[in-house]
Structure 1
Amino acid sequence: MIRGTMADLTLREYDSRVDLDISLAREVAAALEDAISARGAASLAVSGGKTPIGMFQQLRQMRMDWSKVWITLVDDRWLPVDHPDSNERLARVHLLKYQLEAAHYVSLHNDAATPEAGLAEVEARLRAIPQPFDVLILGMGEDGHTASLFPCAAELEDACAPESSQLLTAVNPTSAPYPRISLTLAAIARARNLLVHLTGARKKTQFEAAMANPTEKLPIKRVLDAANGIRHVYWAE
């Protein structure tokens, strides 16, 4: 149910995480179907971590023509795709199964030693996906990072350049393990539907504090301030 708004940013609160997962999966599927009807194909970028697992399991039950959908990740750790901490591994285990095996999945990883070395090839690959993204789902860390746009990263300002034509950036956070590859703020902000998925009282408090802070703009606020499409926040305890 919708419980409040922050300007035109809609906050949707749910009584349970299962209710949230079902509602979010339905909204994602509806937006993808609208895109297919309008443009013949659709694109979806998803985040990793534990929060979206239940939603992934709901989404893969949605009946639609998944062969017309392109799927990628918002970000990933620069790790082998079978590593336990790989977002791609999580997506393959929990999302890219059954009906969704028909979707076109675009990996953010290659065999280069570093994300910097692999960036150009992955960027070229990603440009095959219909742009801007029809649906993009973000999470948020306790430090206000979203995607792999970390406040501590030396690459942050370049990654957050609002007029950047780059889709991807390499990121080396000092407060989290592993080098990363991430969509840039500009690529995220162009999404037609930008959805934030949060769980737990602490995350809600941190999100509201980040959005209300006029002096220190954390990445989650910077992204949502720059977004020019539909913006919804989904939250459950």
Structure 2
Amino acid sequence: MGLSTQTFTDKSALVKAFADEILNILEKGIAKSGRASLVVSGGSTPVPLFKELSLRDLAWSKVDITLADERWVDESHADSNTRLVKENLLQNKASSAHFVSLYSHHSDASEGIAEAEARLSSLSQPFDVLILGMGEDGHTASLFPCSEQIDEGLSLSSGRVCLAVQPNTAPHQRISLSLPALLNSKNIFLHLTGDKKKAVLQDAMQNHTEREKPITAVVNRAPVTLMWAP
């Protein structure tokens, strides 16, 4: 429980060291269980990390990759996290990794929950690596403080792996892993860059409830490593 921090001089140094750490964990997972699981997040921050990982040697065909959350849009859409992962991570040496999509062709995310949960059940769990991001409002995955679904998302007794979310402050309906599903991870990383995001995190941990700043719900319940560079 709680936060440890690895600080790097710049984003490039962060990416190289972070890739080393992720590869080491995945290699050990494959050696122990035959497969390993990696849960990633969308946004611009992880793109250089995705590209770096794609160039690294690993038995990628034995790695299952999925998302902590997804916008309920087809992967042809510019805002699709699936598209982001396929274009930047599932390339080069990592092209043989097995990707598990949260999105399905239902008109409403709530109609796709059962299918997403069934797909995720095929992954080795607890997840070997979970990489989270954080918005300036303190949301992580798609656990938005502004959404009507935040209490369901933070509930440790809901029995749900996924939930449909409609944020009031961001476009698109979402599908997100629930807090208990996120916590079902052996190694949890929070990948942030810039002083502003670091200040948001510090403020969230010191001055806000989990419902107000959902990132704190993860940090309060699991060891989390912050990977940060200015």
Instruction: Tell me if both proteins adopt one fold, taking TM over 0.5 as the criterion.
Output: yes
Runs (4+) of structure 1 exceeding 6 A deviation are none
| Cα pair 1:20 1:234 within 8 Å, conserved | yes
Cα shift readout 1:132-179 (whole Å, capped 9, x = no counterpart): 111000000000000000001111111111234321110000011100
| Cα pair 1:162 1:226 within 8 Å, conserved | no
* % identical aligned pairs: 44
- Are 1:221 and 2:216 matched, yes or no? yes
| Cα pair 1:153 1:172 within 8 Å, conserved | yes
Question: Which whole-Å CA distance do the structure 1 matches of 2:44 and 2:138 have between them?
Answer: 17
| Cα pair 2:192 2:226 within 8 Å, conserved | yes
| Equivalent residue, structure 2, for 1:190 | 184
Question: Residue 73 of structure 1: which of 67, 70, 74 is its match?
Answer: 67
Query: Structure 2 regions of 5+ residues with no counterpart?
Result: none
Deviates more, 1:137-146 or 1:62-71: 62-71
- Are 1:151 and 2:158 matched, yes or no? no
Residues 61-210 of structure 1: matches in 2 within 5 Å?
Answer: 61-210=55-204
* SS across alignment from 1:226: coil
Q: Which letter maps to 2:226? A: V
Q: 1:164 to 1:40 in 2, by over 3 A?
A: farther
Query: Structure 1 regions of 5+ residues with no counterpart?
Result: 1-6
Question: Which whole-Å CA distance do the structure 2 matches of 1:77 and 1:12 have between them?
Answer: 30
TM-score scaled to structure 1, two decimals?
A: 0.93
What's the Cα RMSD here?
A: 1.3
Q: Which letter maps to 1:171? A: V
Question: Residue 8 of structure 2: which of 1, 10, 14 is its match?
Answer: 14
Q: Which letter maps to 2:218? A: V
Structure having greater relative contact order (Cα 8 Å, sep ≥ 6)? 2
TM-score scaled to structure 2, two decimals?
A: 0.96
- Are 1:55 and 2:49 matched, yes or no? yes
Q: 1:236 to 1:79 in 2, by over 3 A?
A: same
Q: Which letter maps to 1:72? A: T
Question: Which whole-Å CA distance do the structure 1 matches of 2:193 and 2:202 have between them?
Answer: 13
| Cα pair 1:144 1:220 within 8 Å, conserved | yes
| Equivalent residue, structure 2, for 1:4 | none
Question: Which whole-Å CA distance do the structure 2 matches of 1:69 and 1:96 have between them?
Answer: 11
Deviates more, 1:210-219 or 1:185-194: 210-219
Q: 1:127 to 1:216 in 2, by over 3 A?
A: closer
